[in-house]
Amino acid sequence: MRVLLVEDDRMIGEAVEAALVDAAYAPDWVRDGQSAIEAVAAQTYDIVLLDLGLPKTDGIQVLRTIRGRNNAVPVLIITARDAVESRIQGLDLGADDYVLKPFEMAELLARMRAVARRKGGVAGPLLCNEVLSLDVCARTVALDGQEIHLSAREFALLHALMIRPGAILSRGELEDRMYGWGSEVESNAVEFIIHALRKKLGNDAIKNVRGVGWLVPKTR
């Protein structure tokens, strides 16, 4: 999943960015509100982590601008502003959830997963078809009930496909969900990861639609 982290505190930003990478997310980190507005306009994100006390443009204005452009990207506010009025304002302007600093990374990641599930119309943490089961919380994958170990990149790619079984994702869309800014992407990275996944999960686990992209079948 591609995540925009909007945080001007370097220590917090570095810690959150590292935790996101460890959790197989692809984060882009900006440090002011204007950069956040420009990033959301230029890139499609699965979720935005938005601080409120930002230089150049306040986080509330960033949120107002995002929603004013009819962009429905999930926004999770992370801030030290604990006044009830601030929380109400953020939620009324279209934020999906609110986390107060200081916070535990485990809680932030859990809230991100919950927001992503609501966006995808999925009630629980399991993504399944008749063959594969992917547990977003435990970061595990099972094939016909048997757990299979995947690397972080393999899990990220399979997760992107499992969110909507049957939906085709292109190479560019898969790269967007696996790599953040500054990450070096090999020209055949997606094909290499899919080849590795097929060796572990079977050739039929991921289908190729020639010239278009790849999908995880809805059923056998």
In the chain, which residues fall in CATH 3.40.50.2300? 2-120
Using CA atoms, how far apart are residues 145 and 123, in angstroms rounded to an integer? 21
- Please name every residue paired with 76 in a beta bridge, in sequence order, or none if there are none: 49, 97
Q: What letter does residue 71 receive in the DSSP assignment? A: -
Residue 103's alpha-carbon distances to 98, 107, 109, 138, 143, in angstroms, are 11, 7, 11, 20, 35
* Overall fold of domain 2-120: Rossmann fold (3.40.50)
In the chain, which residues fall in CATH 1.10.10.10? 126-215
Which residue in 58, 4, 68, 14 sits closest to 32, CA to CA?
58
pLDDT in tens, 3-60: 999 999 999 999 999 999 888 888 999 999 999 999 999 988 989 999 998 999 999 9
Using CA atoms, how far apart are residues 185 and 147, in angstroms rounded to an integer? 28
pLDDT in tens, 153-203: 899 899 889 888 889 999 888 988 887 776 666 778 899 999 999 999 999
* Overall fold of domain 126-215: Arc Repressor Mutant, subunit A (1.10.10)
